[in-house]
Structure 1
Protein backbone atom coordinates (compact mmCIF):
# COMPACT_ATOMS: atom_id res chain seq x y z
CA UNK A 1 0.00 0.00 0.00
CA UNK A 2 1.25 3.46 -0.91
CA UNK A 3 0.65 6.29 1.54
CA UNK A 4 1.92 9.83 1.10
CA UNK A 5 1.00 13.12 2.69
CA UNK A 6 -0.65 15.70 0.48
CA UNK A 7 -1.80 18.28 3.01
CA UNK A 8 -5.23 19.61 3.88
CA UNK A 9 -6.97 21.93 1.50
CA UNK A 10 -7.93 25.40 2.79
CA UNK A 11 -11.36 25.73 1.17
CA UNK A 12 -11.77 28.79 -0.97
CA UNK A 13 -12.93 30.04 -4.36
CA UNK A 14 -11.50 29.37 -7.78
CA UNK A 15 -8.54 31.74 -8.22
CA UNK A 16 -8.95 34.15 -11.09
CA UNK A 17 -5.64 35.98 -10.94
CA UNK A 18 -2.28 35.14 -12.45
CA UNK A 19 -3.99 33.71 -15.52
CA UNK A 20 -3.36 34.31 -19.19
CA UNK A 21 -6.87 35.45 -20.20
CA UNK A 22 -9.22 36.66 -17.47
CA UNK A 23 -12.13 36.97 -19.92
CA UNK A 24 -12.01 33.30 -20.81
CA UNK A 25 -11.60 32.08 -17.25
CA UNK A 26 -14.57 34.10 -15.99
CA UNK A 27 -16.89 31.46 -17.50
CA UNK A 28 -15.57 28.73 -15.17
CA UNK A 29 -17.15 27.86 -11.80
CA UNK A 30 -16.08 30.01 -8.86
CA UNK A 31 -15.18 26.91 -6.83
CA UNK A 32 -13.16 23.89 -7.88
CA UNK A 33 -10.79 21.18 -6.75
CA UNK A 34 -11.46 21.33 -3.01
CA UNK A 35 -9.85 18.31 -1.40
CA UNK A 36 -10.46 17.30 2.21
CA UNK A 37 -8.24 14.29 2.84
CA UNK A 38 -4.98 14.59 4.75
CA UNK A 39 -3.40 11.74 2.83
CA UNK A 40 -4.01 9.46 -0.11
CA UNK A 41 -3.95 5.68 0.13
CA UNK A 42 -3.79 3.21 -2.71
CA UNK A 43 -7.13 1.52 -3.34
CA UNK A 44 -10.66 2.58 -2.45
CA UNK A 45 -11.54 6.27 -2.41
CA UNK A 46 -13.77 8.13 0.02
CA UNK A 47 -17.32 8.90 -1.09
CA UNK A 48 -16.73 12.64 -1.27
CA UNK A 49 -13.05 12.51 -2.22
CA UNK A 50 -13.38 13.21 -5.95
CA UNK A 51 -16.74 14.94 -6.58
CA UNK A 52 -15.66 15.99 -10.09
CA UNK A 53 -15.65 12.43 -11.41
CA UNK A 54 -18.21 11.55 -14.10
CA UNK A 55 -19.33 8.34 -15.76
CA UNK A 56 -19.63 8.65 -19.55
CA UNK A 57 -22.14 6.56 -21.47
CA UNK A 58 -21.51 6.20 -25.18
CA UNK A 59 -21.23 3.51 -27.87
CA UNK A 60 -18.12 1.74 -29.10
CA UNK A 61 -19.89 0.58 -32.26
CA UNK A 62 -22.40 2.31 -34.57
CA UNK A 63 -26.10 1.83 -33.73
CA UNK A 64 -25.45 0.22 -30.37
CA UNK A 65 -27.21 1.41 -27.24
CA UNK A 66 -25.06 3.68 -25.10
CA UNK A 67 -23.48 2.18 -22.00
CA UNK A 68 -20.96 3.39 -19.43
CA UNK A 69 -17.61 2.85 -21.10
CA UNK A 70 -15.42 5.72 -19.88
CA UNK A 71 -14.86 8.26 -17.17
CA UNK A 72 -14.61 12.03 -17.37
CA UNK A 73 -14.30 15.12 -15.20
CA UNK A 74 -16.60 18.03 -14.43
CA UNK A 75 -15.00 21.33 -15.46
CA UNK A 76 -18.15 23.46 -15.82
CA UNK A 77 -21.82 23.12 -14.89
CA UNK A 78 -22.55 22.09 -18.47
CA UNK A 79 -19.30 20.52 -19.64
CA UNK A 80 -17.49 17.23 -19.05
CA UNK A 81 -13.88 16.72 -20.13
CA UNK A 82 -12.97 13.25 -21.40
CA UNK A 83 -10.98 11.36 -24.03
CA UNK A 84 -12.01 11.64 -27.68
CA UNK A 85 -11.71 7.90 -28.28
CA UNK A 86 -14.58 7.41 -25.81
CA UNK A 87 -16.94 9.28 -28.13
CA UNK A 88 -16.08 7.75 -31.49
CA UNK A 89 -19.62 6.47 -31.93
CA UNK A 90 -21.48 8.80 -29.58
CA UNK A 91 -25.17 8.82 -30.42
CA UNK A 92 -28.40 10.41 -29.30
CA UNK A 93 -28.40 8.20 -26.19
CA UNK A 94 -25.10 9.57 -24.89
CA UNK A 95 -25.30 10.70 -21.27
CA UNK A 96 -23.22 11.26 -18.16
CA UNK A 97 -23.71 10.43 -14.51
CA UNK A 98 -22.17 12.66 -11.85
CA UNK A 99 -22.17 12.26 -8.09
CA UNK A 100 -21.95 8.48 -8.38
CA UNK A 101 -19.67 6.45 -6.12
CA UNK A 102 -20.66 2.79 -6.27
CA UNK A 103 -22.81 2.01 -9.28
CA UNK A 104 -24.14 -1.15 -7.60
CA UNK A 105 -25.71 0.63 -4.63
CA UNK A 106 -28.79 2.85 -4.57
CA UNK A 107 -27.49 5.03 -1.74
CA UNK A 108 -23.84 5.84 -1.13
CA UNK A 109 -22.87 6.44 2.46
CA UNK A 110 -19.99 6.14 4.90
CA UNK A 111 -19.69 6.13 8.67
CA UNK A 112 -21.12 4.10 11.51
CA UNK A 113 -24.67 2.80 11.87
CA UNK A 114 -25.94 5.76 13.88
CA UNK A 115 -23.67 8.36 12.33
CA UNK A 116 -24.00 7.94 8.57
CA UNK A 117 -22.86 10.53 6.06
CA UNK A 118 -25.03 10.03 2.98
CA UNK A 119 -24.28 11.32 -0.48
CA UNK A 120 -26.86 13.16 -2.53
CA UNK A 121 -28.53 11.15 -5.29
CA UNK A 122 -26.45 10.95 -8.45
CA UNK A 123 -27.39 13.11 -11.42
CA UNK A 124 -28.04 11.49 -14.81
CA UNK A 125 -27.83 14.10 -17.54
CA UNK A 126 -28.29 13.74 -21.29
CA UNK A 127 -25.66 15.06 -23.67
CA UNK A 128 -26.59 17.92 -25.98
CA UNK A 129 -23.40 17.96 -28.05
CA UNK A 130 -20.10 16.12 -28.34
CA UNK A 131 -17.09 18.29 -29.15
CA UNK A 132 -14.16 16.17 -30.33
CA UNK A 133 -10.83 17.87 -30.97
CA UNK A 134 -10.59 18.49 -34.74
CA UNK A 135 -7.10 16.95 -34.84
CA UNK A 136 -8.00 13.73 -33.02
CA UNK A 137 -6.03 10.80 -34.50
CA UNK A 138 -3.91 13.27 -36.48
CA UNK A 139 -1.11 13.23 -37.46
CA UNK A 140 -0.72 9.95 -35.55
CA UNK A 141 -3.33 7.59 -34.10
CA UNK A 142 -4.52 8.49 -30.58
CA UNK A 143 -2.98 11.96 -30.67
CA UNK A 144 -5.11 14.96 -29.58
CA UNK A 145 -7.25 12.47 -27.65
CA UNK A 146 -9.45 15.03 -25.93
CA UNK A 147 -13.13 15.95 -26.11
CA UNK A 148 -15.90 17.83 -24.35
CA UNK A 149 -19.46 16.81 -23.64
CA UNK A 150 -21.97 19.65 -23.52
CA UNK A 151 -24.88 18.73 -21.27
CA UNK A 152 -28.54 19.48 -21.93
CA UNK A 153 -29.09 20.66 -18.36
CA UNK A 154 -26.58 22.09 -15.87
CA UNK A 155 -25.11 20.07 -13.02
CA UNK A 156 -26.50 20.98 -9.62
CA UNK A 157 -23.45 22.06 -7.62
CA UNK A 158 -25.51 22.43 -4.43
CA UNK A 159 -25.32 18.64 -4.03
CA UNK A 160 -22.64 17.39 -1.66
CA UNK A 161 -21.12 15.07 -4.27
CA UNK A 162 -20.73 17.39 -7.29
CA UNK A 163 -17.98 19.94 -7.85
CA UNK A 164 -15.82 21.11 -10.74
CA UNK A 165 -12.22 20.07 -11.28
CA UNK A 166 -9.58 22.83 -11.48
CA UNK A 167 -7.70 23.32 -14.73
CA UNK A 168 -4.06 24.46 -15.00
CA UNK A 169 -4.87 28.08 -15.80
CA UNK A 170 -1.82 30.04 -14.68
CA UNK A 171 1.30 30.29 -16.77
CA UNK A 172 3.22 28.50 -14.01
CA UNK A 173 0.89 25.48 -14.01
CA UNK A 174 0.62 25.36 -17.79
CA UNK A 175 4.38 25.20 -18.11
CA UNK A 176 4.92 22.77 -15.25
CA UNK A 177 7.37 20.00 -16.16
CA UNK A 178 5.46 16.94 -15.00
CA UNK A 179 8.27 14.43 -15.64
CA UNK A 180 9.34 12.93 -12.32
CA UNK A 181 6.20 14.06 -10.49
CA UNK A 182 3.63 11.79 -8.87
CA UNK A 183 0.08 12.18 -10.13
CA UNK A 184 -3.21 10.76 -8.86
CA UNK A 185 -5.55 8.84 -11.11
CA UNK A 186 -8.98 7.68 -10.00
CA UNK A 187 -11.95 5.94 -11.54
CA UNK A 188 -14.36 3.05 -11.42
CA UNK A 189 -12.78 -0.38 -11.39
CA UNK A 190 -13.37 -2.77 -14.24
CA UNK A 191 -13.37 -6.49 -14.87
CA UNK A 192 -13.47 -7.83 -18.44
CA UNK A 193 -14.36 -4.37 -19.77
CA UNK A 194 -17.33 -3.97 -17.41
CA UNK A 195 -17.64 -1.64 -14.45
CA UNK A 196 -17.50 -3.49 -11.14
CA UNK A 197 -18.90 -0.59 -9.17
CA UNK A 198 -15.96 0.26 -6.91
CA UNK A 199 -14.25 3.64 -7.07
CA UNK A 200 -10.49 3.33 -6.73
CA UNK A 201 -7.37 5.47 -6.97
CA UNK A 202 -3.64 5.16 -7.45
CA UNK A 203 -0.47 7.18 -7.44
CA UNK A 204 1.28 7.14 -10.83
CA UNK A 205 4.77 8.54 -11.45
CA UNK A 206 5.30 10.44 -14.70
CA UNK A 207 8.32 9.17 -16.62
CA UNK A 208 10.32 10.36 -19.60
CA UNK A 209 8.53 9.97 -22.95
CA UNK A 210 11.27 7.65 -24.15
CA UNK A 211 9.76 4.97 -21.91
CA UNK A 212 6.64 4.99 -24.10
CA UNK A 213 8.42 5.60 -27.41
CA UNK A 214 10.52 2.49 -27.04
CA UNK A 215 7.35 0.36 -26.95
CA UNK A 216 6.42 1.50 -30.42
CA UNK A 217 4.20 4.45 -29.46
CA UNK A 218 5.21 7.90 -30.66
CA UNK A 219 4.28 10.64 -28.20
CA UNK A 220 3.67 14.22 -29.21
CA UNK A 221 4.48 17.23 -27.04
CA UNK A 222 0.80 17.20 -26.04
CA UNK A 223 1.06 13.84 -24.30
CA UNK A 224 2.99 12.41 -21.39
CA UNK A 225 4.02 8.96 -20.28
CA UNK A 226 3.25 7.54 -16.82
CA UNK A 227 2.61 4.31 -14.98
CA UNK A 228 -0.39 2.39 -16.27
CA UNK A 229 -3.40 1.97 -14.00
CA UNK A 230 -5.19 -0.68 -16.01
CA UNK A 231 -7.74 -1.46 -13.30
CA UNK A 232 -9.92 1.48 -14.41
CA UNK A 233 -11.50 2.71 -17.62
CA UNK A 234 -9.91 5.53 -19.60
CA UNK A 235 -11.08 9.11 -20.02
CA UNK A 236 -10.78 10.17 -16.39
CA UNK A 237 -8.61 12.89 -14.88
CA UNK A 238 -4.96 12.69 -13.88
CA UNK A 239 -4.60 15.06 -10.93
CA UNK A 240 -2.16 16.65 -8.54
CA UNK A 241 -2.69 18.78 -5.47
CA UNK A 242 -1.16 22.12 -6.46
CA UNK A 243 -0.45 25.52 -5.01
CA UNK A 244 -2.89 27.82 -6.80
CA UNK A 245 -2.69 31.38 -5.52
CA UNK A 246 -1.59 30.00 -2.13
CA UNK A 247 -4.46 27.51 -2.02
CA UNK A 248 -4.04 23.74 -2.13
CA UNK A 249 -6.43 22.63 -4.89
CA UNK A 250 -6.68 19.55 -7.09
CA UNK A 251 -5.68 20.43 -10.65
CA UNK A 252 -6.21 18.22 -13.69
CA UNK A 253 -3.00 17.80 -15.68
CA UNK A 254 -3.94 14.82 -17.80
CA UNK A 255 -6.59 12.54 -19.28
CA UNK A 256 -6.12 8.79 -19.11
CA UNK A 257 -5.63 7.77 -22.73
CA UNK A 258 -4.44 4.23 -23.37
CA UNK A 259 -2.02 1.63 -22.11
CA UNK A 260 -0.80 -1.84 -23.10
CA UNK A 261 -3.43 -4.35 -24.20
CA UNK A 262 -2.87 -6.32 -20.98
CA UNK A 263 -1.88 -5.10 -17.54
CA UNK A 264 1.89 -4.82 -17.35
CA UNK A 265 3.83 -3.02 -14.61
CA UNK A 266 6.81 -2.47 -16.88
CA UNK A 267 4.91 -0.86 -19.76
CA UNK A 268 3.64 2.68 -19.07
CA UNK A 269 0.48 4.28 -20.42
CA UNK A 270 -0.07 7.40 -22.52
CA UNK A 271 -1.95 10.41 -21.15
CA UNK A 272 -3.19 13.59 -22.82
CA UNK A 273 -1.50 16.70 -21.42
CA UNK A 274 -4.43 18.95 -20.50
CA UNK A 275 -2.22 22.03 -20.04
CA UNK A 276 -1.62 22.06 -23.80
CA UNK A 277 -5.35 22.34 -24.49
CA UNK A 278 -6.54 24.94 -21.97
CA UNK A 279 -7.14 27.59 -24.65
CA UNK A 280 -9.05 25.11 -26.82
CA UNK A 281 -11.20 24.05 -23.85
CA UNK A 282 -12.01 27.62 -22.82
CA UNK A 283 -12.76 28.69 -26.40
CA UNK A 284 -15.19 25.80 -26.88
CA UNK A 285 -17.01 26.56 -23.63
CA UNK A 286 -17.16 30.28 -24.28
CA UNK A 287 -18.55 29.80 -27.78
Structure 2
Protein backbone atom coordinates (compact mmCIF):
# COMPACT_ATOMS: atom_id res chain seq x y z
CA UNK A 1 0.00 0.00 0.00
CA UNK A 2 1.33 3.43 -0.91
CA UNK A 3 0.83 6.43 1.38
CA UNK A 4 0.81 9.63 -0.65
CA UNK A 5 0.69 13.08 0.92
CA UNK A 6 -1.27 15.71 -0.97
CA UNK A 7 1.27 18.40 -1.83
CA UNK A 8 2.30 19.92 -5.16
CA UNK A 9 6.01 20.22 -4.43
CA UNK A 10 7.80 17.02 -5.43
CA UNK A 11 8.28 15.07 -2.22
CA UNK A 12 7.70 11.36 -1.64
CA UNK A 13 5.87 9.48 1.08
CA UNK A 14 6.15 5.75 1.65
CA UNK A 15 5.51 2.91 4.05
CA UNK A 16 8.41 0.54 4.85
CA UNK A 17 10.40 0.37 1.55
CA UNK A 18 7.67 1.46 -0.85
CA UNK A 19 7.97 4.93 -2.38
CA UNK A 20 5.80 7.23 -4.47
CA UNK A 21 5.57 10.85 -5.55
CA UNK A 22 3.19 13.12 -3.68
CA UNK A 23 -0.09 13.49 -5.56
CA UNK A 24 -3.27 15.46 -4.74
CA UNK A 25 -6.46 15.92 -6.76
CA UNK A 26 -9.92 17.14 -7.55
CA UNK A 27 -10.88 14.00 -9.45
CA UNK A 28 -14.11 13.60 -11.44
CA UNK A 29 -15.31 17.01 -10.30
CA UNK A 30 -16.35 20.05 -12.32
CA UNK A 31 -15.18 23.60 -12.93
CA UNK A 32 -16.92 26.01 -10.53
CA UNK A 33 -17.00 29.73 -9.73
CA UNK A 34 -15.32 31.24 -6.69
CA UNK A 35 -18.65 32.97 -6.01
CA UNK A 36 -20.04 29.56 -5.03
CA UNK A 37 -17.01 28.75 -2.82
CA UNK A 38 -15.72 32.19 -1.75
CA UNK A 39 -13.87 30.76 1.25
CA UNK A 40 -11.34 28.94 -0.99
CA UNK A 41 -7.84 30.41 -1.40
CA UNK A 42 -4.51 29.44 -2.92
CA UNK A 43 -1.42 29.17 -0.73
CA UNK A 44 1.57 29.99 -2.92
CA UNK A 45 5.25 29.37 -2.27
CA UNK A 46 7.24 32.40 -3.41
CA UNK A 47 10.45 30.38 -3.18
CA UNK A 48 9.46 28.23 -6.15
CA UNK A 49 8.37 29.16 -9.66
CA UNK A 50 5.84 26.53 -10.64
CA UNK A 51 3.19 26.38 -13.33
CA UNK A 52 0.54 25.20 -10.87
CA UNK A 53 -0.55 26.39 -7.41
CA UNK A 54 1.09 24.63 -4.50
CA UNK A 55 -1.73 24.31 -1.93
CA UNK A 56 -5.23 25.29 -0.97
CA UNK A 57 -6.62 26.89 2.13
CA UNK A 58 -9.79 28.40 3.58
CA UNK A 59 -10.74 31.79 5.02
CA UNK A 60 -11.75 31.35 8.67
CA UNK A 61 -11.74 35.09 9.48
CA UNK A 62 -10.71 38.31 7.76
CA UNK A 63 -7.26 37.79 9.27
CA UNK A 64 -6.66 34.03 9.22
CA UNK A 65 -6.30 31.24 6.65
CA UNK A 66 -6.53 27.55 7.57
CA UNK A 67 -4.31 25.09 5.66
CA UNK A 68 -2.24 21.92 6.04
CA UNK A 69 0.95 21.88 8.09
CA UNK A 70 2.99 20.40 5.25
CA UNK A 71 1.96 23.35 3.05
CA UNK A 72 3.96 25.80 5.17
CA UNK A 73 7.04 23.69 5.97
CA UNK A 74 10.02 22.48 3.98
CA UNK A 75 11.96 19.24 4.37
CA UNK A 76 15.28 19.48 6.19
CA UNK A 77 17.76 16.84 7.30
CA UNK A 78 19.30 18.29 10.47
CA UNK A 79 19.42 15.13 12.57
CA UNK A 80 16.74 16.36 15.01
CA UNK A 81 13.64 16.82 12.93
CA UNK A 82 13.06 16.60 9.22
CA UNK A 83 11.21 19.84 8.51
CA UNK A 84 11.46 23.53 9.20
CA UNK A 85 8.75 26.17 9.11
CA UNK A 86 8.79 28.56 6.17
CA UNK A 87 9.26 32.26 6.83
CA UNK A 88 6.23 34.52 6.21
CA UNK A 89 7.87 36.26 3.26
CA UNK A 90 8.16 32.91 1.49
CA UNK A 91 4.37 32.54 1.15
CA UNK A 92 1.50 34.58 -0.27
CA UNK A 93 -2.23 33.89 -0.34
CA UNK A 94 -4.53 34.39 -3.33
CA UNK A 95 -8.23 34.86 -2.40
CA UNK A 96 -11.27 35.53 -4.54
CA UNK A 97 -10.20 33.88 -7.80
CA UNK A 98 -11.87 31.22 -9.96
CA UNK A 99 -8.66 30.86 -11.96
CA UNK A 100 -5.03 30.88 -10.87
CA UNK A 101 -3.74 32.48 -14.06
CA UNK A 102 -3.20 35.94 -12.55
CA UNK A 103 -1.36 35.86 -9.22
CA UNK A 104 -0.71 39.62 -8.99
CA UNK A 105 -3.50 40.15 -6.47
CA UNK A 106 -1.99 37.71 -3.95
CA UNK A 107 -1.77 39.13 -0.40
CA UNK A 108 1.17 39.10 2.01
CA UNK A 109 1.20 37.27 5.32
CA UNK A 110 2.40 38.28 8.77
CA UNK A 111 2.79 34.97 10.58
CA UNK A 112 2.67 31.21 10.11
CA UNK A 113 1.28 29.12 12.98
CA UNK A 114 2.10 25.42 12.71
CA UNK A 115 0.55 22.92 15.10
CA UNK A 116 3.19 22.34 17.83
CA UNK A 117 2.87 18.56 17.50
CA UNK A 118 3.11 18.39 13.71
CA UNK A 119 4.96 15.24 12.66
CA UNK A 120 6.40 14.93 9.16
CA UNK A 121 8.99 12.18 9.25
CA UNK A 122 10.88 12.61 6.00
CA UNK A 123 13.50 10.04 5.01
CA UNK A 124 16.85 11.00 3.47
CA UNK A 125 19.44 8.89 1.67
CA UNK A 126 23.20 9.00 2.24
CA UNK A 127 23.49 11.93 -0.17
CA UNK A 128 21.04 13.99 1.86
CA UNK A 129 18.26 13.72 -0.73
CA UNK A 130 14.72 13.31 0.58
CA UNK A 131 13.37 9.96 -0.62
CA UNK A 132 10.03 9.91 1.15
CA UNK A 133 7.93 10.62 4.22
CA UNK A 134 6.90 7.75 6.46
CA UNK A 135 4.66 9.44 9.04
CA UNK A 136 2.25 12.38 9.14
CA UNK A 137 0.35 13.64 12.21
CA UNK A 138 -1.31 16.90 13.25
CA UNK A 139 -1.08 18.18 9.68
CA UNK A 140 -2.68 21.56 10.31
CA UNK A 141 -1.53 25.19 10.30
CA UNK A 142 -2.85 28.73 10.12
CA UNK A 143 -1.66 31.83 8.30
CA UNK A 144 -2.21 35.32 9.71
CA UNK A 145 -2.49 37.93 6.97
CA UNK A 146 -0.71 41.29 7.10
CA UNK A 147 -3.96 43.10 6.33
CA UNK A 148 -7.56 41.95 6.84
CA UNK A 149 -9.50 40.75 3.83
CA UNK A 150 -12.43 42.76 2.51
CA UNK A 151 -15.50 40.53 2.46
CA UNK A 152 -17.28 40.42 -0.92
CA UNK A 153 -19.16 38.02 -3.17
CA UNK A 154 -15.85 36.29 -4.02
CA UNK A 155 -14.17 36.50 -0.59
CA UNK A 156 -16.04 35.15 2.40
CA UNK A 157 -15.55 33.29 5.68
CA UNK A 158 -16.30 29.61 6.13
CA UNK A 159 -17.86 28.58 9.43
CA UNK A 160 -16.21 25.97 11.65
CA UNK A 161 -17.79 23.34 13.90
CA UNK A 162 -18.48 24.33 17.49
CA UNK A 163 -15.82 23.40 20.04
CA UNK A 164 -17.96 20.65 21.56
CA UNK A 165 -19.20 19.08 18.32
CA UNK A 166 -18.88 15.31 17.85
CA UNK A 167 -17.69 13.29 14.84
CA UNK A 168 -21.16 11.80 14.47
CA UNK A 169 -22.40 15.16 13.17
CA UNK A 170 -20.67 14.64 9.80
CA UNK A 171 -20.81 10.86 9.44
CA UNK A 172 -22.80 9.57 6.48
CA UNK A 173 -23.34 13.03 4.97
CA UNK A 174 -22.40 14.46 1.58
CA UNK A 175 -19.45 16.88 1.61
CA UNK A 176 -17.92 19.08 -1.06
CA UNK A 177 -14.15 19.42 -1.54
CA UNK A 178 -12.61 22.16 -3.67
CA UNK A 179 -9.24 23.09 -5.11
CA UNK A 180 -7.07 24.05 -8.06
CA UNK A 181 -5.16 20.75 -8.08
CA UNK A 182 -4.62 18.08 -10.71
CA UNK A 183 -7.48 16.23 -12.35
CA UNK A 184 -7.80 12.83 -14.09
CA UNK A 185 -4.44 11.30 -15.06
CA UNK A 186 -2.64 14.10 -13.19
CA UNK A 187 -3.65 16.75 -15.69
CA UNK A 188 -2.92 20.25 -14.30
CA UNK A 189 -5.56 22.96 -14.31
CA UNK A 190 -5.70 26.63 -13.43
CA UNK A 191 -9.44 26.51 -12.72
CA UNK A 192 -11.22 25.97 -9.42
CA UNK A 193 -12.90 22.55 -9.27
CA UNK A 194 -15.35 20.97 -6.84
CA UNK A 195 -16.63 17.46 -6.27
CA UNK A 196 -19.11 15.87 -3.84
CA UNK A 197 -17.91 12.97 -1.70
CA UNK A 198 -19.70 10.70 0.78
CA UNK A 199 -18.49 10.78 4.36
CA UNK A 200 -17.98 7.46 6.20
CA UNK A 201 -20.89 6.08 8.21
CA UNK A 202 -18.51 5.84 11.19
CA UNK A 203 -15.20 7.66 11.44
CA UNK A 204 -12.74 5.07 12.75
CA UNK A 205 -9.69 6.97 11.48
CA UNK A 206 -6.82 7.50 13.94
CA UNK A 207 -4.48 10.42 14.62
CA UNK A 208 -7.05 13.16 14.06
CA UNK A 209 -7.99 12.26 10.47
CA UNK A 210 -11.19 11.50 8.58
CA UNK A 211 -10.75 8.57 6.16
CA UNK A 212 -12.94 8.86 3.06
CA UNK A 213 -13.20 6.19 0.38
CA UNK A 214 -12.75 7.59 -3.13
CA UNK A 215 -15.30 5.08 -4.43
CA UNK A 216 -15.82 3.78 -7.98
CA UNK A 217 -15.42 5.76 -10.11
CA UNK A 218 -13.00 7.55 -7.78
CA UNK A 219 -13.81 11.06 -6.59
CA UNK A 220 -11.59 13.23 -4.41
CA UNK A 221 -8.60 15.55 -4.24
CA UNK A 222 -5.19 15.50 -5.95
CA UNK A 223 -1.87 17.33 -6.43
CA UNK A 224 -2.27 20.99 -5.49
CA UNK A 225 -5.37 20.47 -3.31
CA UNK A 226 -3.51 20.02 0.01
CA UNK A 227 -4.86 22.23 2.77
CA UNK A 228 -8.12 22.83 0.93
CA UNK A 229 -11.50 22.61 2.69
CA UNK A 230 -13.99 19.78 3.10
CA UNK A 231 -17.39 21.40 3.74
CA UNK A 232 -20.84 20.10 4.75
CA UNK A 233 -23.82 22.46 4.73
CA UNK A 234 -21.63 25.55 4.98
CA UNK A 235 -19.37 24.24 7.78
CA UNK A 236 -15.77 23.12 7.28
CA UNK A 237 -15.14 19.74 8.89
CA UNK A 238 -11.88 18.75 7.20
CA UNK A 239 -8.87 19.78 5.15
CA UNK A 240 -6.99 17.72 2.56
CA UNK A 241 -3.83 15.97 3.79
CA UNK A 242 -2.89 12.71 2.00
CA UNK A 243 -4.16 9.57 0.29
CA UNK A 244 -3.40 5.87 -0.11
CA UNK A 245 -2.92 3.68 -3.17
CA UNK A 246 -2.10 0.01 -3.77
CA UNK A 247 -0.35 0.83 -7.04
CA UNK A 248 3.42 0.23 -7.25
CA UNK A 249 4.62 2.22 -10.24
CA UNK A 250 7.00 5.09 -11.07
CA UNK A 251 4.03 7.43 -11.36
CA UNK A 252 0.80 7.23 -9.37
CA UNK A 253 -2.22 8.86 -11.02
CA UNK A 254 -5.05 10.67 -9.26
CA UNK A 255 -7.50 7.92 -10.15
CA UNK A 256 -5.26 5.27 -8.50
CA UNK A 257 -6.00 6.43 -4.95
CA UNK A 258 -8.63 4.50 -2.99
CA UNK A 259 -8.75 6.52 0.27
CA UNK A 260 -8.17 10.17 1.09
CA UNK A 261 -7.23 11.37 4.57
CA UNK A 262 -8.60 14.73 5.72
CA UNK A 263 -7.55 16.49 8.92
CA UNK A 264 -10.53 16.35 11.29
CA UNK A 265 -11.23 19.98 12.21
CA UNK A 266 -13.29 18.93 15.26
CA UNK A 267 -10.16 17.45 16.85
CA UNK A 268 -8.30 20.75 16.45
CA UNK A 269 -11.13 23.19 17.06
CA UNK A 270 -9.88 24.42 20.45
CA UNK A 271 -6.34 24.88 19.10
CA UNK A 272 -7.72 26.99 16.25
CA UNK A 273 -9.59 29.20 18.73
CA UNK A 274 -6.55 29.58 20.98
CA UNK A 275 -4.36 30.75 18.09
CA UNK A 276 -6.72 32.91 16.01
CA UNK A 277 -9.62 35.35 16.27
CA UNK A 278 -12.36 33.07 14.94
CA UNK A 279 -14.33 33.07 18.20
CA UNK A 280 -13.70 36.70 19.04
CA UNK A 281 -15.84 38.10 16.23
CA UNK A 282 -18.07 35.25 15.12
CA UNK A 283 -20.69 33.34 17.03
CA UNK A 284 -20.63 29.59 16.54
CA UNK A 285 -23.64 27.43 17.22
Do the two structures share a fold, i.e. TM-score over 0.5?
A: yes
Which has the higher relative contact order, 1 or 2, with Cα contacts under 8 A spaced 6 or more apart? 2
| TM superposition score normalised by structure 2 | 0.65
2: CA distance, partners of 1:65 / 1:272: 26
Distance 1:66 1:46, change over 3 A: same
SS of the residue 2:273 aligns to: helix
> Are 1:240 and 2:232 an aligned pair?
yes
User: C-alpha offsets along residues 71-109 of structure 1, whole Å, 9 cap, x if unaligned?
Assistant: 000001110000001111323221101001112369xxx
> Are 1:135 and 2:117 an aligned pair?
yes
Alignment of 1:65-214 (within 5 A): 65=48, 68-89=53-74, 90-91=86-87, 92-104=89-101, 123-137=105-119, 141-157=135-151, 159-169=152-162, 171=164, 173-190=165-182, 196-207=189-200
| TM superposition score normalised by structure 1 | 0.65
Indicate the larger mover: 223-232 or 45-54.
223-232
For residue 186 of structure 1, report the CA deviation from its aligned partner. Answer: 0.8
Structure 1 gap ranges (5+) = 1-40, 107-121, 211-218, 242-249
Indicate the larger mover: 190-199 or 220-229.
190-199
1: CA distance, partners of 2:143 / 2:173: 29
Distance 1:104 1:206, change over 3 A: same
For residue 268 of structure 1, report the CA deviation from its aligned partner. Answer: 0.7
> Are 1:50 and 2:63 an aligned pair?
no
SS of the residue 2:254 aligns to: coil
Q: 1:220 corresponds to which residue?
A: 206
Which of 250, 262, 277 aligns to 2:253? It is 262
Structure 2 gap ranges (5+) = 1-27, 75-85, 122-133, 215-219, 245-251, 281-285
- Indicate conservation of the 8 Å contact 1:84/1:146, yes or no: yes
For residue 124 of structure 1, report the CA deviation from its aligned partner. Answer: 1.8
- Indicate conservation of the 8 Å contact 1:65/1:93, yes or no: no
